A = this chain, B = another copy of it.
Amino acid sequence: MTEYKVIFQPEGKRVKVTSNTTVYEAAKLAGVDFVSICGGKGTCQKCKVQINPDLLQQPLTENEKKALVQDEVSAGIRLACQIKVQKNLVVYIPESSRTGKQRLQVEGIKTPVKLDPMVQKFHIKLSKPTLEDPRSDLDRILDELEKEKRLTELKIKYELLKNIAPLLRNSKWDITVTTWNHDQIIAIEPGNSTNRLFGVSIDIGTTKLAGYLIDMNNGDVIAVNSAMNPQISYGEDIISRINYICSDNQKENSNLLQQILIHKINQIISTLCEKSGVLPNEIYELNAVGNTAMHHIFLNLNPRYLSLAPYTPVVRKGINLTPESLGIEINQTGNIYCLPVIAGYNGSDNVGVILATEIYKRDDVCLALDIGTNTEVVLGNKDQMLVCSCASGPAFEGASIKHGMRAASGAIERVQINPETLQCDYQTIDNAPPRGICGSAIVDIMAEMLKVGIIDVTGKMNKSLDSSSLHKADDGYEYILAEANETTIGNNITITQKDIRQITLAKAAMHTGSVILMEELGVTENDIDKVFIAGAFGNYIDVENARFIGMYPEIEISKVEIVGNAAGTGARMTLLSKKMRTIAENLVKNQIKYIELASKESFQNIYLNSTYIPYADLSKYPATSSLLRELGKFPTKLPHMF
């Protein structure tokens, strides 16, 4: 087969590919970081690249025709996934098509937990064998642990037996034994090493990975590290990744997506160790939370049926397994624990949220939203908890929005609109020149546009307004946040009418989840005593603006608490407490009820009503209604109720 050379600019990365490889595939091979939401199917329209049009005769595909405006086409902008390499090419990747360095949310609420880790250490001194006392090496250890530490019926990992004979003799019969669950010996070390007892918890998000190194002797988080989920280049959302796995070569694809994830987790562990001076061998347990798809891919379980009704997971309860069976680089006789998942679309991350917020032991009714590509909602208290998952999509993470981007340097993160000039003030991450808009600004811009009348409660832009910030571009009306000359991308940064629709659908999905759970539990806004906002961008959003646009029902702002990465907190709690692990398993088995939104009769109507900003039934938003009235923006014609 003929091979062609593709050079990616501005870095100059080179790769040789066979003819008919797509530019998108070539970019992945070359290791160029690259946005891909749909995994190369041509539907997300994000993978824009620039190629000299004189050198590229290939006509526009249907997908490209939909995605590109005339100016872009003239400038040689194409979709990388649509172009097949048929000659040597130089490809320029604009800033806006890059994944970029991320601001990753890793901090979470600090929920105290009584220390009782599954992994414990015991220092013992043994007597030497004699002809009168020729007990086996293991019996000597077991007898002493029984006598001194009241540990009975301990099992031992076979691998440890291979080395104990020389270890006991070299250590002069003075050793530290590490146990798991008080019933199994998982490590034996010379001398007294009881002060070195570490664990790692990992939050496996669709987009990001966060790792926490914990000193299990005191519960302190001694190092934190995070990274992008490297599976992103195989699809930004869960469905794309499952589709990728379940295409040809399922076994190979499944192994690949597992292995790149585990490789990255090992890098996180290695960095945690470097930061803290802890050795990987001193980490005796790792526990992991994530949505059910991430959970299945991490464990290399078949994810196919997660994406097909009735969305059945392979396994729900918690799983213990060896580091070796996954290739995780901690102490090889240690343990990996994956928290239980709730349902096909409700993972162990949500179990973590329930543990961290302690909803499971509260008398008052609580609502929790863990906002992400999928938003998990919990409603209830110690008696019962209803949960659901809302397909909120990636809009709040910056994807599917024309100038959306992740919370990285240069992202616009805060926005205010001057009600007189309708011009925009913004703040960017690191105060860098703007290159896009991230989630927190997306919330702000929606609220602000409604407040100043750029949009109405239906989300429609008011085309009659006279402002230089509003104009009609090739692909429709848009509001300009930053002029081309202020930005690093050489273009205006805008919010389009289409973007507003995407954002509205996203918030409508979340809102529908909360409303249906309230219906199911038979409570109203007034019955809810506490709202927890968790998730990747939770720490950065303006909760009032979020409520104003109807991301969640109108509950008193004083009741709203931002809890950050609560899933991670929950994971850490189970690392530190055997009891928390039992609680997690019991909750999933007996107390958490998963509600499949799509199966509810009222779903369609509530969803349509939720596509108004904040909601079709404004009587449910009295405070918001007042403010709109005050600003003269209350609709003259009330929204249609479905």
Residues of A participating in the B interface, judged by any CB pair closer than 8 Å: 129-139, 156, 158-159, 161-166, 169, 299-302, 304-305, 309-317, 319, 321, 325, 341, 343-344, 594, 596, 598-599
Q: Are A134 and B314 within 8 A (Cβ)?
A: no
| A129 and B312 contact, Cβ closer than 8 Å, known pairs A134-B343, A158-B321, A317-B138 | yes
Could you write out 11 A-B pairs with CB less than 8 Å apart? A131-B309, A131-B596, A134-B343, A134-B344, A138-B314, A138-B317, A158-B321, A161-B299, A162-B301, A162-B302, A166-B304
Bound CA–CA A130/B598 (angstroms): 13
Q: Which residues of B contact A598 (CB under 8 A)?
A: 131
Are the C-beta atoms of A165 and B304 separated by less than 8 Å? yes
| Chain B positions within 8 Å of A159 at CB level | 325
B312 touches A136 (CB 8 A): yes
A256 to chain B, nearest CB (A): 15
Q: How far is the CA of A138 from the CA of B599 in the complex (A)?
A: 23
Instruction: Please name the residue on chain B nearest to A163 by beta carbon.
Output: B302
A161 in complex: contacting residue of B137, B162, B319, B344, CB < 8 Å: B319
- Interface residue from B134, B165, B310 paired with A301 (Cβ < 8 Å): B165
- A158-B325, A319-B161, A325-B158 known; A599 vs B131 contact (CB < 8 Å): yes
Are A136 and B314 within 8 A (Cβ)?
A: yes
User: Out of B137, B300, B302, B315, which one reaches A312, CB within 8 Å?
Assistant: B137
Name the distance in Å between A98's Cβ and chain B's nearest Cβ. Answer: 35
Beyond A136-B341, A162-B299, 17 extra complex contacts between A and B, CB < 8 Å: A129-B310, A133-B310, A134-B311, A134-B596, A136-B312, A136-B314, A136-B316, A137-B312, A139-B315, A156-B315, A161-B319, A162-B300, A164-B302, A164-B314, A165-B312, A165-B314, A166-B302
CA distance A89 to B156 in the complex (A): 52
Which chain B residues border A344 with CB–CB below 8 Å?
Answer: 134
Chain B residues with Cβ under 8 A from A135's Cβ? Answer: 312, 316
For A343, the closest partner residue in chain B by CB is B134
Q: Which of B129, B315, B343 is within 8 Å of A137, CB to CB?
A: B315
Copies of this polypeptide in the complex = 2
* Top-5 shortest CB links A-B: A165-B302, A136-B316, A134-B310, A138-B315, A158-B321
Q: Which residues of B contact A319 (CB under 8 A)?
A: 158, 161
Q: Flag if B131 contacts A310 (CB, 8 Å).
A: yes
B310 touches A130 (CB 8 A): yes
Name the residue of chain B whose CB is nearest to the CB of A340: B136
Residues of B within 8 A of A321 (CB): 158
Distance (whole angstroms) from the CB of A382 to the closest CB of chain B = 24
Q: How far is the CA of A164 from the CA of B304 in the complex (A)?
A: 12
Q: Which residues of B contact A137 (CB under 8 A)?
A: 305, 312-315
- A159 (CB) vs chain B CBs: closest residue: B325
Question: Taking the nearest CB of chain B, how far is it from the CB of A316, in angstroms?
Answer: 4
A52 → B minimal CB distance (Å): 48
* Chain B residues with CB under 8 A of A305: 137, 165, 169
Q: For residue A462, give the distance in angstroms from its CB to the closest CB of chain B.
A: 42
Q: How far is the CB of A297 from chain B (nearest CB, A)?
A: 12
Given the complex of chains A and B, what is the CA–CA distance between A164 and B312 in angstroms? Answer: 12
Query: Known contacts A158-B321, A159-B325, A302-B163; is A136 also within 8 Å of B315 by CB?
Result: yes
CA distance A599 to B302 in the complex (A): 61
Residue of B nearest to A129 (CB): B312
In the bound complex, residues from chain B placing their C-beta under 8 Å from that of A162 are 299-302
| Residue of chain B at shortest CB distance from A325 | B158
A303 vs chain B, min Cβ distance (A)? 9
Contact B314–A161 (Cβ < 8 Å): yes
Residues of B within 8 A of A314 (CB): 136-138, 161, 164-165
Q: How far is the CA of A137 from the CA of B312 in the complex (A)?
A: 7
Among A301, A311, A319, chain B packs the most CB atoms within 10 A around the CB of A301
A50 → B minimal CB distance (Å): 43
Interchain nearest-CB distance for A60 vs B (Å) = 40
CB distance from A142 to the nearest CB of B (A): 8
Which residues of B are found within 8 Å of A594, using beta-carbon distances?
134
Q: Which of B139, B301, B310, B311 contacts A316 (CB 8 A)?
A: B139
Task: Please give the distance in Å from A258's CB to the nearest CB on chain B.
Answer: 10
Cα of A301 to Cα of B157 in the assembled complex, Å: 13
Enumerate chain B residues within 8 angstroms of A302, measured Cβ to Cβ: 162-166
Residue of B with least CB distance to A599: B131
Residues in B with CB closer than 8 Å to A139 are 315-317
**A130 CA to B169 CA, complexed, in Å:** 60
CB of A189, distance to nearest CB on chain B (Å):
17
A311 and chain B: residue at smallest CB distance: B134
What's the nearest-Cβ distance from chain B to residue A230, in Å? 21
> What is the CA–CA distance of A161 and B314 in the complex, to the nearest angstrom?
7
Residue of B nearest to A316 (CB): B136
Closest to A156 in B: B315
Please give the distance in Å from A326's CB to the nearest CB on chain B.
9
Nearest CB on B from A586, distance (A) = 13
